[in-house]
Amino acid sequence: MSDIQMIVSLVGAATVQTIVMVFFSMVFSLILGLPLGILLCVTDPAVGIMPKPVLNQILTRIVNVLRSFPFIILMILLFPLSRIIVGTSIGTGAAIVPLSIAAVPFVARVIETALKEVNPEVVQAARAMGSTNMQIIIKVLLPESMPSLVAGITLTVINLIGYSAMAGAIGGGGLGDLAIRYGYQRFRTDIMIVAVIVILVMVEAIQIIGTKISTDFMNHR
């Protein structure tokens, strides 16, 4: 196998692993982070539609602690959890667990911030028309904040690409793993450069797509 072919097949496989890691971590962190973000917004004692000061304080604290946790340490702490959920603490599947959990508080904050941007008078109008709290969340808060939500999720995906490279460094596979194993440990600078370029292209592509979707929502109003 020629050198170029080898690089292509190595980078190709690693790219797929990175995409798998980022995609599933995004999905799982959204499944947990979306309700948490909604809860943070609606229970806010000042602007929430169902103020619950104590619950809001507790959730805010948890989210803040998790968010300020260094990712590498979170990964190491979550190795046992990966073993329980995925059956192993090595590989792409195993990396999804800490990645998802690390992204949950980030997603929650992004969602909370976006929802709080909705004009409170518009929410009041919805309440005046006899909306239930659930209807306000589903039919008012989420649709009205769609441009910000999409921008926030785009940012999360980009962060996850960065985190997934770190996860790769401790056995998670993907482009970060490739760059370190070949570029750093085996002095294959060419492979490292290609891996880094692919990461940069991915980030740029996500950013462009995210901005496009967000502005489309913005222009449709």
Min dist. Cβ of residue 50 to another protein (A): 10
* Binding interface with another protein (CB under 8 A): 119, 121-122, 124-132, 135, 139-140, 143-144, 146, 217, 220-221
65 vs 122, which CB is nearer to another protein?
122
Min dist. Cβ of residue 217 to another protein (A): 8
4 vs 129, which CB is nearer to another protein?
129
Min dist. Cβ of residue 117 to another protein (A): 12
* Residue 60 near residue 40, CB atoms below 8 Å: yes
92 vs 148, which CB is nearer to another protein?
148
* Residue 126 near residue 136, CB atoms below 8 Å: yes
One-character DSSP codes across 104-171? HHHHHHHHHHHHHTS-HHHHHHHHHTT--HHHIIIIIIHHHTHHHHHHHHHHHHHHHHHHHHHHIIII
Name the DSSP class of 50.
S
* Residue 154 near residue 161, CB atoms below 8 Å: no
25 vs 43, which CB is nearer to another protein?
43
Min dist. Cβ of residue 115 to another protein (A): 13
